Structure 1
Amino acid sequence: MARSLQAERNTKRHDSAAIDRTVAFANGKGGVGKTTTAANVAGYAAIAGAKVLVIDLDPQGDLSRDLGYESASGQGLFNALVTGTTAPVLKDIRENLDVIPGGQALEDIQGLMFSRSTRADAGDFGDMLHRSIEPLAEDYDLIIIDTPPGERTLVEGAFAIATAVVIPTKSDEASIDGVERVARRFMAVRERNPNLQLAGVVLFGVGPRSLRLERSVRETLEEMLGTVAPVFATRIRSLESASADARKKGLLFHELEGAVTQAQKDRLKALRAGIKPSDGFFSRNAGGLAEEFEALTGEILSRLNEIESDDNQ
């Protein structure tokens, strides 16, 4: 696979429907931290001053849990895709961060594409997505697309308009197999979007003491990728209590740190006053996860700059 990916990378670039600074987060397996990584990277990029748009292409709509906005049906995005109009945007989910919410309505995309397949002028899902997203692009410095694990049409549509793909993965064999499935979808789209590049792989949910396992997984992934893309140096550790708190409260990890600290102060104040304290958090700290996501965001943005520099040569 490494040789074929490298060969594709060396092919001549052509004009494509890619939208600048658009990154798809993908893995062929669910439960690997894809949505959490996309949300926290978006959050840190926004803190750094970038104007960020996050697009939720997952029918489960789980991005709402990580970012803390009210879950949606995805009908607004679906309607825009069908009519070829600009997708509706939820503004100011965080400072500098807007969202196009997904949801259950996106499950109908596969059937829609089948019904439109006999129309010569219909185009594919990538064309539909481009028409709905491209008019928004000039308002943003970075567009992040969270893709579902099992919907090939949605994933390849995201790849058709993206300039880069980031693959979060856990260390188990099923997750590594998911990386290979994404690589196959990546290759399938390169003909119609030759500017698409593999930005890198993120190790997610690694046990804090699993150093030998981490080294082994890194070696496996590096052998798989060859020189095409890096396994990012920053890995995201496993800390279930903090992850559960973050999703329950709709907080990003840098926000969770502050909230947990405040909750501890409130708890001590209640104890001093002889009042039974409320305890709304499982974790006593975010375990350095905020710093890890900050470092990872820096690596990803640097990698995007590198890809852009290569494209301009």
Structure 2
Amino acid sequence: MSVPLRIEIMQRETIKPSSPTPPDLRSLKLFVLDQFMPISHITLVLLYPSNGNDTDHLDKAKETSLRLKTLLSEALTLFYPFAGRLKHNSSIECDDHGTEYIEARIHCILSDILRKPETEVLKQLLPAAISDAVITTKDSQLLVQASFFDCGGVAIGVGLSHKIADAATLASFIKCWAAAARCSSTEVITSPVFMGASIFPQMDLPIPMLPVDLIQGQSVLKRFVFEGPKITALRAKAISASVPNPTRVESVTALIWKCAMSASRSNLGVPRKAVLSLDVNIRKRLVPALPDNYGGNYVSSISARMEDHDDLELQGIVSRIRKDLTEFGDHYTKITQGVIFR
């Protein structure tokens, strides 16, 4: 697949909620985990190949784009903070400012991208505004780009401000948007809940709002595909007395970490300490647990460590990850019960 893609931006417009946000919901206070999030976007690209039956792709694109915008407007009524604006790293003014919607034409065949997905190619399917060098508090919190391919395929790129949402919140929004598109009379759309400040109160400290500034250096990006049966077999190998029920994430993460540590030891000729940083959804680890529809940044990370003398067996690595996850949950339970923050 060639880089860059031949992309033609057809239009940009602002999509507002289909119903105005009620006065009592016009200001949403950020909670402490929101405040510490950097100015960046959580991104997602959804790819939909053509069904092969449509021949007039241009008319179909217009129809699809109109429907996407209509349903997006409806979804924003529930996810009203996504149409607001950030104010002083302390709140979201839910003023129905709207979200930026971009319609684009891509002059290639979607199957060329799907045959061997490349990160640099997929990045070009994200909303064009995400690539802007400066992101200000006046920018839309949610950005959407609908890209229509010559073959009739569609890519929907989404960027959501990390100041107001984590990946789980983005997933809830996508599910809501998709459920509206399916028009199912039996499917129940769960409304989001935004009340994180009552659980993790705001900190009255000068927390700087800085964009993400990643360290530039030599690195290698690889994509690994694990099929279902292989993951099942891997989980069976990871079972031990301390972890009789390893999860898929624990098993796959342990395997990748094991291979990385083995490669490091082989290259250096000596064992070496290793640290694994793993993002964790806090919702299910609190007591009581929070529902998935709680919007905001309920995410933190663990730093699992392996010493230079530790054995690199899969079961031992899974046990290390599980131990740190358990301690992580205990820590946040104490926070919400007022043991740490009073």
Shorter chain as denominator, the TM-score bin is under 0.3
Higher relative contact order (CA 8 A, sep 6+): 1
Output the TM-score relative to the length of structure 1. 0.25
Q: Which structure shows the bigger proportion of residues in strand conformation? A: 2
Structure label with greater radius of gyration: 2
